Amino acid sequence: MIIKPSMRSNFFTNAHPLGSEQFVLEQIKEAKASPPFKGPKNVLIIGGSSGYGLASRIALAFGANANTINVSYESGPKGKRTGSAGYWNNLYFQKHANETNTTHIDFLGDAFGKETKAIITKTIKETFGHVDLVIYSLAAGGRRNEETGDIVQSHIKTMGEPIHGKTIDIKSEKLIDITIDNATDQEIKDTVFVMGGSDWQDWINYLDKAEVLSEQAKTIAYTYIGGPTTQSVYRHGTLGQAKTDLEQKAKTLNTLLAKTYKGEALISSSKAVVSKASIFIPQMPIYVSCLYDVMLKADKHESILAHKYRLFKDMVYGENRLTDKENRIRVDHIEMEPSIQKATNNLMHSLDDNTLFDLKGTKHFLQQFYKISGFGYSNIDYEKDIDLDTLNTSLRDNAQIIE
């Protein structure tokens, strides 16, 4: 199959496996060039096939020599479908992690389900005995309500007046008008159900009851706070409500882990980056492009890997933890510097439809977005025919995948 980028509504409907290998390798290269650190031994990552979960997995496997189990919702190649980028990321992570002499297992399935929790717990017992870190990095558009069988959808809406703004249409590289509607109470509730902290809590309770958490076990989930520019669309919107719930659940989980294991439950506020999930937040592509531009110019830009590496090395396991009054780890402090926020906001308001696309930050944003699905690598021949079945079989023969 010859694989060319295919996009619908800012979503790649395909992925290029050889580009996904480059995507994983770029992060591995960065991790290997960073100073090693003492971290966890056995890590469970929920949502580790892309974005922040994958960067966390690579940072810990290559920086701290950790074993990992990853749960993600990804699909392999079938017929005319190339398989998702996250699917190939998992396989290539396993291929290249072989050199670390650590153990890595991938489970492909629905992390929200009880069955998944049972299989993973059994796998932990049989392979590692215990885990000492659980990372919750899910970004999902929907969640099955196990009591009713219904699929509950999350919504990206505001909670004040509707917002009229713009976002980037990536395929045409044009700015398009968007309106972000006001959420109903039900939509807020549903978003909290999908993206809030209840499933994280279910996971930790499940692992606790099954006695697979080790002494001093930690768990961490990722929130976003953002500044005044993103306030109305994010923190004062449905996603912000879900994150408030996640942060509340951290307090309950912290009490449990501290009491039973002398451990802790943490929230890290991470910086805005390009990911499969963040692209769906209206206005965010413009904000992130301008933020990248400002941070690149100020020589303060951090890659997704570098961001997570610093989180674990300095703040989760190191001595340089920065927290706010809510006890959230503020690894996003560079994005939040008043001068960075002010310059980003000014830049956003000084641009027109054309000048935005001339920015170095926007070019970087678009390049990263293509790379997430394995496109845009100069060392890949995108005209070359790839036998996906043969590639898939050979990678899977050397990987531990449970479906």
Binding site for ligand NAI (CB under 6 A): 47-53, 71-74, 86, 110-112, 137-140, 222-224, 270, 272-273, 275-278
Beta-bridged to residue 392, according to DSSP, are none
Residue with smallest beta-carbon separation from ligand NAI: 51
**Cβ 269 to ligand NAI, closest distance in Å?**
7
- Euclidean distance between the first and the last CA atom of the chain, given in angstroms as a whole number: 25
Q: Which of 277, 137, 279 is nearest to 199 (CA)?
A: 137
Of 52 and 375, which CB lies nearer to ligand NAI in the complex structure? 52
> How remote is the C-alpha of 375 from its chain's centroid?
19
158 membership: H or E segment, kind and range: none
Closest distance to ligand NAI from the beta carbon of 352 (Å): 25
Residue whose CB is less far from ligand NAI, 214 or 283: 283
Q: Minimum distance from CB of 246 to ligand NAI (Å)?
A: 8
For residue 124, give every residue at least 6 positions away whose Cβ sits within 8 Å of its Cβ, in sequence order, or none: 42, 44, 69, 130, 131, 207, 212
Q: How far is the CB of 274 from ligand NAI (least distance, A)?
A: 7
Q: Amino acid identity of 156?
A: I
| Euclidean distance between CA atoms 119 and 123, whole angstroms | 6
Shortest approach of ligand NAI to residue 49 CB, angstroms?
A: 4
Q: Verify whether residue 234 is a known catalytic residue.
A: yes
Residue bearing tokens 């520019």: 229
Task: Tell me how many degrees the CA angle 195-197-203 measures, rounded to the nearest 5.
Answer: 110
- Of 21 and 245, nearer to ligand NAI (C-beta) is 245
Which of 91, 214 has the CB closer to ligand NAI? 91
Instruction: Locate 43 and state its tokens.
Output: 């890590």
Return the number of the residue (180 or 242) whose C-beta is nearest ligand NAI.
Answer: 242
The secondary element (H helix, E strand) that includes residue 126 is helix 114-127
Provide DSSP, 34-50: SPP----SEEEEES-SS
Angstrom distances, CA of residue 55 to CA of 37, 234, 345: 16, 23, 28
Do 76 and 86 meet the contact criterion of CB atoms below 8 Å apart?
A: no
Neighbours of 239 (CB within 10 A): 25
Contact 345, 284 (CB under 8 A): no
* DSSP-derived secondary structure letter, 101: T
Of 73, 224, 234, 309, the catalytic one is 234
Q: Which is nearer to ligand NAI, 139 or 351 (CB)?
A: 139
Task: Tell the smallest beta-carbon distance from residue 205 to ligand NAI (Å).
Answer: 18
Could you give the residue numbers annotated as active site?
234
